[in-house]
Amino acid sequence: MTYDHLRQLLVLSLLFCIQTASIVQGAQDLERKASMLLREEPENPKCFAEGRKDFTCFWEEDEETTGSVDQYSFTYTYQNENSSKCPLRALHTADGKRLYVCHLNRTQMFVQMDIQVHRQGLLIHNRSLLIELVFLLNPPANVTVSNNGEQGQLRVSWVPPPLKYMDDSMMYEVSYAPADSQTEQVEVVRASSELILRGLQPGTQYSVRVRVKLDGISYNGYWSAWSDPVLTNTLPADLDPLIVSLSLIISLILIVLSLTVLLSHRSFLIKKIWPAIPNPESKFQGLFTVYGGDFQEWLGQTNGGLWLTPVFFYPEESPSPLEVLSELSLSPSLPSPQEEEGGLDEEKRLGQVDSALMGQWRGMPHDQWLMDQLQTLHRQPAPCSQSSLLESQDAYVTLNANNHSGDEHLDDILEETAPLEVLFASMRNVSSESHSDMGSLQQSSGSGRLSSESSFEYPNHTWPPKGHGYTYMVVADSGVSMDYSPMSSSRVDDIGKVVIYANEYKNEIPAHRRPLLTSIKAMFKSGDFGCSSFLSCLIQMNPEY
Amino acid sequence: MNTVHQEPMLDGGLFALLLIVLEWTRPGLPSPLRPICDLRVLNHFIKEARDAESAMRSCREGCSLSESVTVPQTRVDFDIWEKKNALDQAQEVQSGLWLLHQALSSLRASVTNTALHSHLDNSIRNLLSINAVLRSLNIQEYTPPASVVAGDETWQVSSATDLLQVYVNFLRGKVRLLLLDAQACHQDVS
């Protein structure tokens, strides 16, 4: 028995607790609504309906001036009906005021209601209203805000107040704002319980709340309180696919264009960036591949044959080194530097020079031909010299490459001890004295390309004699190029008087037989002279002889 | 042989023609969002009735009823209303509409203010439209009794403003509830 009693007590207490809680909650709601109505509704008493059947009216009185609740009477009258009274109860609010509340559980809508409040028989409040026009609902419940997968959008949904017949008469206001911002936007929704917010900032937290009101056509009322705010984040900013795709397409187009331009100007660019280094490989056969660039070795291997190969250097003409080797016989008439014999001597010397200068190629029998040429050219009765010349078997010219610039006395030259590099065209039986007595011709070449030392030697080292000026030209042959010094006079006084011509080497005769003469001819070729031969040129150049 | 082949064609053609004709002769209703049950039409009528009522309130002269008219009761007690069956509800609404029609016509005749004439004409037109809506919802039409009986659901008004107020309240209340509850567009309400 006691157990049952206890159980009943427990149940009762639970029920009591629940009711108290609901009453407390209801009281809290009432207080909240009352405070709101007190702000918004000017008329007294302030009345509102919460549902299809609930109806609440109240008015406020100060604690000091109020009486007891019994002093007041609340009378309401529907149109065409008898009046009724409503029991009042008093509520104490926080700010020292008293509320007198009338609550009805059954109401008639769509009909006018007249309310009168009397205090001790005196009418203090009077009001006529229609109940369906004074709705004050609870805020919407279960407000949910979610992402609907789109950028800058949020989907808000809620549960409308549970009022039958009034679902389609409800109007909602959705207020949303970034969580840290004060400016809020409001969207109005009619007869729907969800809304999609657009145009939101991506990646931001938004605070959303909803309130409800009846739309005012069939029913009307006051705006409900705001629902509790719901915080939700919008989707983070995403790359606009259109922009991404457009930028990709544009970059692709640019790449294709640049590649096309590069390929079309490929050769030009390669030349600019990677210029072609000239390679003399073709001219030096085997130099790089076989001898690894060792020029001396390559020279040795080839025996300098390439030097003499006419086609190698100057295809049109025969190789250049003037290796005129002629053994000048020790003819007494030759070295006498006398005036009257000057001409003859000169001729002889010239002839010597001529013969000397005429290079004889090694191993090539040019002597006879040379002599013939000399004979025809000279036509000088100088049998001795001629014979001597003819007898000479070797005509050689050694070109002195000691860089004597300026006019040096020839006797110095004669006694010179400069190293000589003698290029022999052919070795003949010539007394060494005559060889050694060869004077050397001053070389006044300004060329620096002379690689071989050579000297021009005259027999008996007395020629050219002093006091005689001879125009001479030094041919310097380096093996690669021939350098012809400007013709200069051996006589000091003649310098400046004698017109010296420096002739550029020209060779236009590719004939094998004529290289010697051709080279010399070309050497002394001068149109102004009008000379047709070497000797004649020489003679002309030295008019005093 | 030719006729055998052509008969199905003819039948099909006739059927199509019949459909077209039926579609034409269907009672003209504004296309609602929800089939037939869109209450925006009624809302429009209610707004216009409210405009007429406010116009009547501001009228000073030439806007009075010559005689008292019978108007339906507009009060709605939801407990009572829900206990009524659909037929009774329909009957109540249809009779009320009929009464209002009579009253508005009488008012229209007695009002001399030209500004109110348009309002009243509009209201009468709207009443007829509501009848059409109810007809579309398969709500039976009201056949007026031979003699007007003052029942619980009627009362007498002698003021034009009261009449129009009744008219507005009736539309907002009972008519709307009936349309909402119509079985043709029955909705699962809580």
Q: Looking at residue A61, which CATH number applies to its domain?
A: 2.60.40.10
Do residue B189 and residue A78 have CB atoms under 8 angstroms apart?
A: no
Q: Give the single-character DSSP code of B82.
A: H
Helix (H, G, I), strand (E, B) or coil at A98: strand
More confident residue, A4 or A302: A4
Least confident piece of the model among A6-10, B2-6, B60-64, B98-102 = B2-6
Those residues whose C-beta lies under 8 Å from the C-beta of residue A145, and which sit 6 or more positions away, are A154, A155, A156, A206, A208, A230, A232
Are residues A206 and A148 part of one domain?
yes
Biggest alpha carbon distance in chain A?
Answer: 183
> Closest to B172 (Cβ–Cβ): which among A108, A110, A167?
A110
Using a CB-CB cut-off of 8 Å, the residues of chain B touching A53 are: 78-79
- pLDDT band at residue A323, thresholds of 50, 70 and 90? low
With tokens 């009693």, the residue in question is A5
Outline where A41-89 has alpha helix (H): none
**B173: distance to nearest CA of chain A, Å?**
6
Task: Give domain status of residue A494, yes or no.
Answer: no
Q: What tokens appear for A23 in the block?
A: 């009453």
Using a CB-CB cut-off of 8 Å, the residues of chain B touching A217 are: 43, 46-47, 172
Are residues A101 and A68 part of one domain?
yes
Are residues A110 and A142 part of one domain?
no
Q: Pick the residue of B47, B48, B73, B77 with the most A CBs within 10 A to test the interface with A by mutation.
A: B77
pLDDT above 50 for A401: no
Mean pLDDT of A128-134: 94
Using a CB-CB cut-off of 8 Å, the residues of chain B touching A165 are: 78, 176-177, 180, 189
- Percent of chain B at pLDDT > 90 equals 42
Do residue B74 and residue A217 have CB atoms under 8 angstroms apart?
A: no
Find the residue in A nearest to B174 (Cα): A110
Helix (H, G, I), strand (E, B) or coil at A36: helix
Distance CA A520, CA A475 (A): 10
Q: Give the single-character DSSP code of A131.
A: G
Q: What is the CA radius of gyration of chain A?
A: 67
Task: Give domain status of residue A117, yes or no.
Answer: yes
Least confident piece of the model among A238-247, A309-318, B120-129 = A309-318
Do residue A111 and residue B76 have CB atoms under 8 angstroms apart?
A: yes
Distance CA A236, CA A152 (A): 8
What would the pLDDT profile of A24-80 be if each residue is shown by its tens digit? 877 778 888 888 988 888 988 999 999 999 999 999 988 888 888 889 999 999 988
> Closest to B190 (Cβ–Cβ): which among A53, A79, A164?
A164
Do residue B155 and residue A80 have CB atoms under 8 angstroms apart?
A: yes
Do residue A108 and residue B173 have CB atoms under 8 angstroms apart?
A: no
What number of residues does chain A have? 545
Q: What is the CA radius of gyration of chain B?
A: 21
Q: Which of residues 126-185 of B touch A (CB under 8 A)?
A: 155, 165, 169-170, 172-174, 176-177, 180
What is the Cβ-side half-sphere exposure of residue A313, based on CA atoms within 13 angstroms? 19
pLDDT above 50 for A91: yes
Do residue B76 and residue A112 have CB atoms under 8 angstroms apart?
A: no
Q: How many domains does chain A have?
A: 2
Task: Give domain status of residue A93, yes or no.
Answer: yes
Pick the last residue of a domain from A80, A108, A135. A135
Using a CB-CB cut-off of 8 Å, the residues of chain B touching A162 are: 190
Using a CB-CB cut-off of 8 Å, the residues of chain A touching B165 are: 112
Q: Pick the residue of B38, B89, B156, B172 with the most A CBs within 10 A to test the interface with A by mutation.
A: B172
- Strands ordered across the beta sheet of A72-78: A83-86, A72-78, A112-119, A122-130
- pLDDT band at residue A377, thresholds of 50, 70 and 90? low
For chain A, what is the mean pLDDT? 71
Using a CB-CB cut-off of 8 Å, the residues of chain B touching A79 are: 75
Using a CB-CB cut-off of 8 Å, the residues of chain B touching A130 are: 169
pLDDT at A139: 93
pLDDT above 80 for A351: no
Outline where A165-273 has alpha helix (H): 241-264, 266-273
Are residues A157 and A39 part of one domain?
no
Task: Give domain status of residue A493, yes or no.
Answer: no
Closest CA to A357 of A487, A483, A519: A519
Q: Are B119 and B63 in contact (CB under 8 A)?
A: no
Positive or negative, the Cα torsion across A401, A403, A406, A408? negative
- pLDDT band at residue A313, thresholds of 50, 70 and 90? low
More confident residue, A331 or A114: A114
pLDDT at A271: 87
- pLDDT band at residue A482, thresholds of 50, 70 and 90? low
Distance CA A472, CA A457 (A): 13
pLDDT above 90 for B23: no
Look up the domain containing A25 and give its range. 3-135
Least confident piece of the model among A62-76, A204-218, A307-321, A510-524 = A510-524
> Closest to B173 (Cβ–Cβ): which among A106, A109, A162?
A109
Task: Give domain status of residue A354, yes or no.
Answer: no
**A205: distance to nearest CA of chain B, Å?**
35
Mean pLDDT of A203-209: 92
Mean pLDDT of A477-490: 60
Are residues A107 and A64 part of one domain?
yes
B96 in reach of chain A (CB within 8 A): no
Are residues A96 and A11 part of one domain?
yes
Find the residue in B nearest to A108 (Cα): B77
pLDDT above 50 for A230: yes
Are residues A212 and A160 part of one domain?
yes
Using a CB-CB cut-off of 8 Å, the residues of chain A touching B188 are: none
B31 in reach of chain A (CB within 8 A): no
More confident residue, A343 or A277: A277
**A59: distance to nearest CA of chain B, Å?**
26
Using a CB-CB cut-off of 8 Å, the residues of chain A touching B190 are: 162, 164
Q: Are A136 and A58 in contact (CB under 8 A)?
A: no
Are residues A123 and A67 part of one domain?
yes
- pLDDT band at residue A289, thresholds of 50, 70 and 90? confident
Using a CB-CB cut-off of 8 Å, the residues of chain A touching B92 are: none
Pick the last residue of a domain from A174, A200, A233. A233
Q: Chain A interface residues facing chain B, Cβ-Cβ under 8 Å?
A: 52-53, 78-80, 106-112, 130, 132, 162, 164-165, 167-168, 217-218
Residue A477, strand partner residues: A482
pLDDT above 50 for A387: no
Do residue A106 and residue B77 have CB atoms under 8 angstroms apart?
A: yes
Are residues A208 and A162 part of one domain?
yes
Do residue A108 and residue B172 have CB atoms under 8 angstroms apart?
A: no
Pick the last residue of a domain from A202, A233, A264. A233
Least confident piece of the model among A378-382, A402-406, A489-493 = A402-406
Q: Pick the residue of A52, A55, A107, A109 with the most B CBs within 10 A to test the interface with B by mutation.
A: A109
pLDDT above 50 for A517: no
pLDDT at A487: 55
What single-letter amino acid sits at A479?
A: G
Are residues A104 and A16 part of one domain?
yes
Find the residue in B nearest to A106 (Cα): B77
Can you state the angle between helices A367-378 and A383-391, rounded to 10 degrees? 170
- pLDDT band at residue A533, thresholds of 50, 70 and 90? low
**B112: distance to nearest CA of chain A, Å?**
28
Distance CA A246, CA A253 (A): 11
Using a CB-CB cut-off of 8 Å, the residues of chain A touching B78 are: 52-53, 109, 164-165
Q: Are A179 and A187 in contact (CB under 8 A)?
A: no
Q: What tokens appear for A312 in the block?
A: 């190698």
pLDDT at A336: 44
**Pairing between strand A154-159 and A141-146?**
antiparallel
Are residues A213 and A160 part of one domain?
yes
- Percent of chain B at pLDDT > 70 equals 83
pLDDT at A255: 97
Are residues A83 and A109 part of one domain?
yes
More confident residue, B33 or A126: A126
**B178: distance to nearest CA of chain A, Å?**
10
Task: Give domain status of residue A104, yes or no.
Answer: yes
Positive or negative, the Cα torsion across B52, B54, B56, B60? negative
What would the pLDDT profile of A174-186 be if each residue is shown by its tens digit? 999 998 888 899 9
Mean pLDDT of A476-498: 56
Those residues whose C-beta lies under 8 Å from the C-beta of residue A390, and which sit 6 or more positions away, are A371
Do residue B169 and residue A110 have CB atoms under 8 angstroms apart?
A: yes
Mean pLDDT of A114-131: 92
Q: Give the single-character DSSP code of A137.
A: P
State the CB neighbour count (10 A cutoff) for residue A244.
11
Task: Give domain status of residue A510, yes or no.
Answer: no
Task: Give domain status of residue A151, yes or no.
Answer: yes
